Amino acid sequence: MAGVSDGSSFKMPSIKFTKLFINGQFVHSLSGKEFETIDPRTGDVITKISEATKEDIDEAVKAARVAFNSGPWPRMPGAERARIMTKWAELIEENVEEIAALDAIDAGKLYHFLKGGEIPGTARTIRYYAGAADKIHGEVLKPGRELFAYTLMEPIGVVGLIIPWNFPSTMFVTKVAPALAAGCTVVLKPAEQTPLSSLFYAHLAKQAGIPDGVLNVVPGFGSIAGAAITSHMDIDKVSFTGSTDVGREVMRAAANSNLKPVSLELGGKSPIIIFDDADVDQAAQLALLGILFNKGEICVAGSRVFVQEGIYDEFEKKVVEKAKAWVVGDPFNPKVHQGPQVSKKQFEKILSYIEHGKREGATLLTGGKRVGDKGYYIEPTIFSNVKEDMLIVQDEIFGPVMVLKKFKTIEEAIKSANNTKYGLAAGIVTKSLDIANTVSRSIRAGIVWINCYFAFGDDIPYGGYKMSGFGRDCGLDSLYKFLQVKSVVTPIHNSPWL
């Protein structure tokens, strides 16, 4: 792996939006408090951001409530919501570079990936849900007697959305677009590490014509602003993406307040299972990307790699070679594969897991150290000779740390893969149709990728089994999260058919 490359030639745009976005206006927090958002390349402060506390959340919820109860948004035809959302998508496309820069500097993500992939993808996601806004169908039912019954799919109301820092843009639209398409109004809290792009999207939403109060963005901390959202008595639904521990708090707060339904997209320790018939080189590439993409800061990271014994040695050699060639450095440098971890806290946590792995007796094949002496860069790290009860096999590390394990039979692989409290994703690499089918039905996870990984799509739902959460993001399933089902029943008389 190479050392830290210089990306200083990149000219950062000035930061335009640092306040809370409530009821269509950028406003200071009521307390006047601010917090710092940090450049993970250096640990330096990028700018200060208004910090939402409970009072600000109350204001945002009030605005969202008025917008829902008496504003035009849920009352306009879905086609009209779609037009405004489409306009929003176009505005994002006009501002791709600026938004990409915001996420790169705030989250340490690769600028060129953001510019070419993630940010244009947000426009695509918005168009997908815009196209669904006029296709929300209830059903006419088949009652067992002389009744006429049908279902109305109604927007659920004011929704609280809490998103993480690893994909500030993708998570923003993945939550906001279906909520808006459904006719809901939104109070969104971005992660305190990455508030910048959310505020920019809010600004563009207003330009596109999304009415005031429909989308409110309130940067702040989980324990304060986040808790105020999850325990709010006037929020009708919360959708959260983050860690399993915090997910538990979110659900508890919902239960203790107004029993709002919650959807949770939480942690994972997803297996990639590679069988003897796989092309070893391709499999090694896939597995490496599965753990190193976005610095391993992705809930569906393929962090446990199971390789069948026939190709294990060759695989191990190749994956280590590839890891050594992986370039870590400034995310604005187009030659770089991996930027810094998002924060000092994450950086230290990952290094402590690595130390723990060594102490537990796993073999460190490569990596294991920080890169450079500034910022939060970590070497791509691979452990082998792991046991299933080791912490590095059981816990979500959320960093560039792969654990590698050998297996003999399909049954053994399935058992090992399912031996986790998580169930978010899985990868299978095989040419065999039978293996692919058997394993994909046996893994207890919300998405299974066969001979691919991270193959996301707007129309493809994903979400967790077990302690990886419940509810689905993406696809029409995600739209339904933001809809209430109302059955309407009335007697009929002398109907010619039933």
Partner 1 sequence: MASSMRISRLLSRSVLPASTTSFFSRGGSGVLGTRLNKFSTAAAIEEPIKPPVKVEHTQLLIDGKFVDAASGKTFPTLDPRTGNVISRVAEGDHEDVDRAVAAARKAFDHGPWPKMTAYERQRILLRAADLFEKHNDELAALESWDNGKPYEQSAQIEIPMLVRLFRYYAGWADKIHGLTVQADGPYHVQTLHEPIGVAGQIIPWNFPLVMFAWKVGPALACGNTIVLKTAEQTPLSALYAAKLLQEAGLPPGVLNVISGFGPTAGAAIASHMDVDKLAFTGSTDTGKVVLELAARSNLKPVTLELGGKSPFIVCEDADVDEAVELAHFALFFNQGQCCCAGSRTFVHEHVYDEFIEKAKARALRRAVGDPFKGGIEQGPQIDSEQFEKILKYIRSGVESGATLETGGDRFGNSGFYIQPTVFSDVKDDMLIAKEEIFGPVQSILKFKDLDEVIKRANNTHYGLAAGVFTKNINTANTLTRALRVGTVWVNSFDTFDAAIPFGGYKMSGHGREKGEYSLKNYLQVKAVVTSLKNPAWL
- When the beta carbons of 334 and 491 are compared against partner 1, the nearer one is 491
DSSP symbols for 47-81: EEEE---HHHHHHHHHHHHHHHHTSSGGGS-HHHH
Q: How far is the CB of 234 from partner 1 (least distance, A)?
A: 30
- When the beta carbons of 96 and 364 are compared against partner 1, the nearer one is 96
Q: What's the token pair of residue 178? A: 């279906």
The span from the CA of 244 to the CA of 84, in Å, is 35
Q: What's the token pair of residue 484? A: 């209430």
- When the beta carbons of 258 and 495 are compared against partner 1, the nearer one is 495
Task: Kindly state whether residue 437 participates in binding partner 1, applying the rule CB under 8 A.
Answer: yes
Residue 49, Cβ neighbours under 10 Å: how many? 24
Among 11, 142, 145, 493, binds partner 1 (CB under 8 A): 493
Among the listed residues 78, 111, 115, 80, the one whose alpha carbon sits nearest the alpha carbon of residue 96: 115
- When the beta carbons of 282 and 495 are compared against partner 1, the nearer one is 495
Q: What's the token pair of residue 286? A: 């896939």
Burial class (CB within 10 angstroms; exposed 0-12, middle 13-18, buried 19+) of 52 = buried
- How far lies 143's CA from each of 36, 173, 487, 490, in Å? 58, 39, 11, 11
Among 2, 360, 476, 484, binds partner 1 (CB under 8 A): 476
- When the beta carbons of 64 and 133 are compared against partner 1, the nearer one is 133
Respond yes or no: is residue 265 known to be catalytic: yes
Task: Kindly state whether residue 458 participates in binding partner 1, applying the rule CB under 8 A.
Answer: yes
Q: How far is the CB of 77 from partner 1 (least distance, A)?
A: 4
- List the x/- string, 112-141, binding to partner 1 by CB under 8 A: ------------x--xx-xxxxxx-x----
Rounded to 5 degrees, what are φ and ψ at 138?
-85, -170
Q: How many residues bind to partner 1 according to rule CB under 8 A?
A: 34
Task: Kindly state whether residue 416 participates in binding partner 1, applying the rule CB under 8 A.
Answer: no
Q: How far is the CB of 120 from partner 1 (least distance, A)?
A: 11
Q: Which H or E run contains 405?
A: strand 401-407
List Cβ<8 Å contacts ≥24 apart for 109-114. Answer: 109/294, 109/331, 109/339, 110/331, 110/336, 110/337, 110/338, 110/339, 111/7, 111/10, 111/331, 111/332, 111/334, 112/334, 114/169
Select which of 51, 59, 192, 265 is catalytic.
265
- List the x/- string, 172-211, binding to partner 1 by CB under 8 A: ----------------------------------------
**Stretch of residues binding partner 1 (CB under 8 A), selected from 39-47, 235-243, 380-388, 488-496:** 488-496
Among 1, 64, 82, 101, binds partner 1 (CB under 8 A): 82
**Stretch of residues binding partner 1 (CB under 8 A), selected from 101-109, 259-267, 368-376, 485-493:** 485-493
- When the beta carbons of 96 and 327 are compared against partner 1, the nearer one is 96
Task: Kindly state whether residue 79 participates in binding partner 1, applying the rule CB under 8 A.
Answer: yes
**Stretch of residues binding partner 1 (CB under 8 A), selected from 8-16, 250-258, 282-290, 432-440:** 432-440
Among 5, 257, 285, 438, binds partner 1 (CB under 8 A): 438
DSSP symbols for 294-330: GGG-STT---EEEEEHHHHHHHHHHHHHHHHT--BS-
Pair 425, 465: CB distance under 8 Å: no
The span from the CA of 241 to the CA of 372, in Å, is 31
- When the beta carbons of 70 and 437 are compared against partner 1, the nearer one is 437
Q: Which H or E run contains 256?
A: helix 244-256
Among 77, 116, 143, 334, binds partner 1 (CB under 8 A): 77
Pair 390, 358: CB distance under 8 Å: no
Return the active site residues.
265
* Site residues for partner 1 per CB under 8 A: 76-77, 79-80, 82-83, 86, 124, 127-128, 130-135, 137, 148, 433-434, 437-438, 441-442, 458-459, 476, 490, 492-497
